[in-house]
Amino acid sequence: MRVVVVGAGVYGAAVAAALARQGATVTVVDAGAPGAGTSGASFSWVNSRDKRPSVYHDLNVAGMAAHRRLADEVPLSGWYHGGGALTWGDGVSERVEALRESGYAAELLTRAEAVELEPGLDPDRLPGDGIGFFPDEGWVEPVRLVGHLLSRDVEVVAGDAVTGLEVGGDAVRGVRLASGTHLSADAVVNCAGPRAGEVAAMAGLALPMRNLPCVLVYTSPVAVPLARVVHAPDVHFRPEGDGRVLLHSGEIDRTEQVEGLLRDAASYYPGMRAARVESVRRGERPIPGDGLPVLGRVTGLRGYFFAVSHSGVTLCLHAGELVADEVLGKDRDDALAAFRFERFER
């Protein structure tokens, strides 16, 4: 079976790898380089802490487990980092209790216990107790993950955008690229992230998207013992390698006040006072119109499939397997019924 996957981010790479493992001939096409779009500008936190409704929460929990399995299966799989995540602030105690009741790994720590996990934190900036710890959460180096997934039995066409789809009758027949290349296909999978609506329109499908900006700040190397994802009330932290720290906040997405974010970060981790901004990366979060993923087959257009959502890093391995199954003729309605494209046509 010949399959063209549009988009070489984490979703496209995961779908392609799952298809190739099952014997499909797969070509991944992207207007840029693999992992250079949204996937390369993601905080890439693997979690299901605030995912609603329950069917979406469960999908993300399965995605978390898929990351741990792959990391266990691949020696020296340096793209996945566990260690859990810390947070505190209004409503954390109630959220921890609700998550525990659902079976999600969550607990409340005292200040002393939190500082034992993250000794670089200023204890005076922490509450005395009620600090949430989520031991199964982690983060991913998405470009390294993409590189692994595309490393075997997948053809990659980079720097050549899809400009049109060929449809015959009620089925997809192939794609046209900006270079003039035509790729015949038995199936096309739309993993185009923020551009998913544009690629859907090429097939005559109206996919509403409400993409949001994402601004990430990368510090210079600093001697701070940051070991996991940390969500303070007004700044988010995670390690970035070689002593660098990746910073994010909802406020910076709106204002891009980079220096203010760095000052806020240093107020929690005093060791960051000597840090400077090394780079800023801007991305675009792909969010379907109702906020939920769009996954799997399209009724009425044979050979056309979607794998588009926010939380793509968390979901990609698990959802990629489900979508690949459907491309190869297996009905995965048990897992994907809530995420069909047709909900937007009602």
DSSP reduced 3-state for 127:
coil
Residue 193 per-residue DSSP state: G
Three-state DSSP at 233 gives coil
pLDDT 10s digits, 83-93: 999 999 999 99
Q: What is the pLDDT of residues 29-52, one digit of tens each?
A: 999 999 999 999 999 999 999 999
Could you count the other beta carbons within 10 Å of the beta carbon of residue 337? 12
Question: CA triplet 69, 73, 77: central angle to 5 degrees?
Answer: 95
Residue 76's pLDDT is 86
Count of Cβ atoms closer than 10 Å to residue 84 Cβ = 19
pLDDT of residue 28: 98
Q: Which residues sit opposite 139 in a β-bridge?
A: 45, 81
User: What are the backbone dihedrals phi and psi of residue 25, each rounded to the nearest 5 degrees, phi first?
Assistant: -90, 115
- Name the fold adopted by 2-44+143-209+288-345: FAD/NAD(P)-binding domain (3.50.50)
Report the CATH fold assignment for 82-136+211-285: D-Amino Acid Oxidase; Chain A, domain 2 (3.30.9)
- Per residue in 147-185, pLDDT tens? 999 998 999 999 999 999 999 989 999 999 999 999 999
pLDDT > 90? residue 256: no
Query: What's the whole-number mean pLDDT along residues 252-265?
Result: 92
The DSSP result for 293-315, as a single string, is -EEEE-TTSBTEEEEE-SSHHHH
CA distances from 40 to 293, 303, 308 (A): 20, 29, 16
Average pLDDT over residues 231-242: 95
Residue ranges of domains in the chain: 2-44+143-209+288-345, 82-136+211-285
What pLDDT does residue 325 have?
98
